[in-house]
Amino acid sequence: MTMQPNSQEARDVAYQLHAYTNARSHQQAGPLVIERGEGPYVFDAAGKRYLEAMAGLWSVGLGFSEKRLVDAAHRQMQALPFYHTFASRSHGPSIDLAEKLVKMAPVPMSKVFFTNSGSEANDTVLKLIAYRSNALGQPQRKKVISRLRGYHGVTIASASLTGLPNNHRSFDLPLPNILHTGSPHHYKDAAAGESEEAFATRRAEELDALIQKEGPDTIAAFFGEPVMGAGGVIVPPATYWEKIQAVLNKYDILLVADEVICGFGRTGKMFGCETFNIRPDVLVVSKQITSSYFPFSAIIMNDRMFEPIADESNKIGVLGHGFTAGGHPVGSAVALENLRIIEERNLVAHAAEIGAYMQDRLRTLADHPLVGEVRGIGLIAAVELVLDKTRKVAAGTPGALGGVASRLLLERGIISRNMLDALAICPPLIVTKVQIDELVDGLAGMLEDLKAEAAKLTPA
């Protein structure tokens, strides 16, 4: 693009380093500057409208113009714009929200610890797991298992949990004591002719073998998203979670459910744990808890997790961990109002109904020669792009085909995100059937546009 001197685009290039961006390419191309939002749509600086098919970053459940959230923040700003939760201090909004989260959790829970992002929350859980192991007199029990293609954040510790190569490369990650087992993606990882049932059994057996190899008394916890998000919207096959949990129970290993993307309606239930009958010891939430109107996250834990931590803090005299803005009164107030709206408007049931419609419509694309798989549940999905349907491969450069598709969609006024060669679909919970039709029709048109571009690429 041609950037005018002193334009927003030029100043962005001059002064800002962007997340998940090729910094050199950005200097040439510049940013897409978004100026305002309305419902499921956003508008750029030139006034062009885009359907935000990613809900921002899997997160703006109520859309981009929910006045009740703005008003909740304004009221709280006027009453108490900031206070902390250190040293036994508290405030009404954090108390109300902690109670709300414990009571609405899908399994019996005990306490909530507030943080500011999913990354910080998972980082904190890792610290608390070590703290708990020491409290139990099990100092050797510090290893944690997550999964290849799982996504748990970008801090040093949470990025180590993340099972994606580009979150490790040149960052000298993962840290020691963080192990990875296979992903639950049947389409990509199953052996030839292997059924979903057999694949789920194999993944559980591989987990068991890893635990045995490392020593069961050294493994403290297993981290997993009910549905993998940034790793490709990977919906686990039937019986997968049942079999994984049986292995964890066998060795008395904690289960941490990362609900940062799945929580608060995304899968058609309030929590992804309900969709897949997962019974975690720790549940991590963020993103949709405030519809991302305020940075906020929470760790919800049961007594199995909490009680040893409380004992250790008593022994030491303090729990030496916390964040200045953890449990921020404005964020707490926004979260409470956000949850009220989700419940009042029956948006979880809406997500189930509209999600089923979206899944059906997306699957009409499955026969296209450039589509390898359409997968998803509720209001989250992915379209896997391929150049060779039989071999299930895209271009020799991973992400090349997906990058072109994402650009072509943007030209059609639809914002998606390519995870290598899979296009993520995750619209706001408030999306309508008309808007789903707009989305799927746009995808269908893009696939036709993509044929010419795909012909220039060499299959892997």
Of 324, 344, 364, at which residue does a domain stop? 344
At 67-125, the pLDDT tens digits run 999 999 999 999 999 999 999 999 999 999 999 999 999 999 999 999 999 999 999 99
Strands 422-425 and 143-147, by their bridges, are unpaired
Q: What is the mean pLDDT of the chain?
A: 97
Number of domains in the chain: 2
pLDDT at 301: 98
Mean pLDDT for 237-251 is 98
d(CA 152, CA 156): 11
Is residue 459 a part of any domain in this protein? Answer: no
**Greatest CA separation for the chain:** 67
CB contact at 8 A, 49 and 41: yes
What are the tens digits of pLDDT across the range 304-328? Answer: 999 999 999 999 999 999 999 999 9
Question: What is the structure's pLDDT at 3?
Answer: 83
Q: Please identify which residue in the block is written with the tokens 């890792």.
A: 126
Which among 293, 310, 344 is the end of a domain? 344
Section 403-422 average pLDDT: 97
* Domain-located, residue 460: no
Q: Which two tokens stand for residue 344?
A: 């009042």
| Boundary of a domain, candidates 344, 364, 393 | 344
Q: What is residue 237's predicted lDDT score, i.e. its pLDDT?
A: 97
**350-373: average pLDDT:** 98
| Predicted local confidence at residue 5, as pLDDT | 87
| Structural domain boundaries, residue 412 | 32-65+346-454
pLDDT digits (tens, 9 = 90+) for 185-236: 999 999 999 999 999 999 999 999 999 999 999 999 999 999 999 999 999 9
Tokens found for residue 291 = 């519809």
Q: How does residue 4 score in pLDDT terms, banded at 50, 70 and 90?
A: confident
Contact 122, 284 (CB under 8 A): yes
Kindly report, residue by residue over 162-196, the tens digit of the pLDDT. 999 999 999 999 999 999 999 999 999 999 999 99
Give the pLDDT confidence score for residue 1 in this predicted structure. 61
CATH number at residue 102: 3.40.640.10
Q: Is a pLDDT exceeding 80 seen at residue 2?
A: no
7 located within any domain: no
pTM confidence score: 0.97
